[in-house]
Copies of this chain bind each other. A is one copy, B any other.
C-alpha cells in the first residue's frame, strides 16, 4: 500500500545463497519487473540481465547509502529491487532500508515499500549437512564494525552456556581476519573441544566447500567471508555413512529430562 501515484516502488529481495533453484517465484517476478537493481555488486551480478534495466552495483559496507539511493530512485518513480544474497531480513538490506526510512524524508514512510523473504545461508548449510540447526539456535553477525566486540562475546558465551546451536555470519574478512579466532577462543571457554563445527563455504555454488570438524580441531584459516560457520550444541551428532559418502550432522529436537 502507498499514497504515491507515479508508479514507483521499492522491493527488498534476496536471491538465496546462490543457485536459481533457491530463488522464490515471488522474487523472480520482482527482478523481472524492476527498472532498477540496487545492491552489493556480487549479488546484483547473480540476477538475470534484462534489456532496459539499470544496475546500481556498489561496494559492501555502504548499506545505508545504498538504501537511501534506492529510496530516492523509487520516490522519483522507478521500480527498484534492492538485492541481497540469502534472505534480505537476515544480516542484509531490509534493516538498512528501514533504518534509512526511519531517519529519512517523511514521504519515504508512505512509499510503496515491501520486503520479501528468501533462503538464508545458514538454512542452505543446514540442509546440505542434514539438520545441524534442528534444535533451538541463534544467528550472530561477527562484523565488529556494527557493534562493540564485548557485545559479540557476551552473546557467544550466553548462547553456548544455554545450549543454542550457533550460526556465525561474516566470520572473517580482509579488514577483520581475527574475528573468528577471537570467537572460537571465547566459545572454547564454555564448550567442549569435541563440539561439532561446520564450515559451509559458498553452499550450492560451484566453489562450495564443506568441512565438518570440531571446536578443538578446527583450522580457522579455512574460514573466509563466504563461509557460514555453524557450531553445534552438546547434543549435535555426526552420522558416519562410509567411505564414499559425506557424513550427516544433526541436532536433536529434544533435550533429555
Listed in ascending order, the chain A residues whose CB lies under 8 Å from chain B are 1-3, 12, 16, 20-26, 29, 63, 87-91, 94-99, 101-102, 109-110, 114-120, 123-124, 126-128, 130-131, 133-141, 146-148, 151, 154-155, 158-159, 161-164, 237, 239-242, 244-246, 248, 250-255, 257
Asked if A89 and B138 make an inter-chain contact with CB atoms under 8 angstroms apart, the answer reads: no
Name the contact of A131 in the complex, choosing from B24, B98, B241 (C-beta under 8 A).
Answer: B98
**Residues of chain B contacted by A21 (CB below 8 angstroms):** 24-26, 29
Q: Which of A25, A98, A140, A151 has the most CB of B within 10 A?
A: A98
A–B Cβ pairs within 8 angstroms, 15 of them? A1-B245, A21-B26, A21-B29, A22-B24, A23-B25, A90-B133, A99-B253, A101-B239, A109-B245, A119-B119, A136-B138, A136-B141, A136-B155, A148-B257, A151-B163
**Residues of chain B contacted by A251 (CB below 8 angstroms):** 95
Question: Measured between alpha carbons, how far is A52 from B116 in the docked complex, in Å?
Answer: 34
Asked if A116 and B120 make an inter-chain contact with CB atoms under 8 angstroms apart, the answer reads: no
Question: Measured between alpha carbons, how far is A160 from B204 in the docked complex, in Å?
Answer: 34
Question: Measured between alpha carbons, how far is A27 from B148 in the docked complex, in Å?
Answer: 40
Asked if A117 and B126 make an inter-chain contact with CB atoms under 8 angstroms apart, the answer reads: yes
Question: Measured between alpha carbons, how far is A131 from B84 in the docked complex, in Å?
Answer: 13
- Say yes or no: A131-B95 contact (C-beta < 8 A), given A109-B242, A159-B138: yes
**Residues of chain B contacted by A147 (CB below 8 angstroms):** 254-255, 257
Asked if B124 and A245 make an inter-chain contact with CB atoms under 8 angstroms apart, the answer reads: no
Asked if B91 and A253 make an inter-chain contact with CB atoms under 8 angstroms apart, the answer reads: yes
Across the interface, name the chain B residue whose C-beta is closest to A146.
Answer: B254
Name the contact of A127 in the complex, choosing from B2, B115, B154 (C-beta under 8 A).
Answer: B115
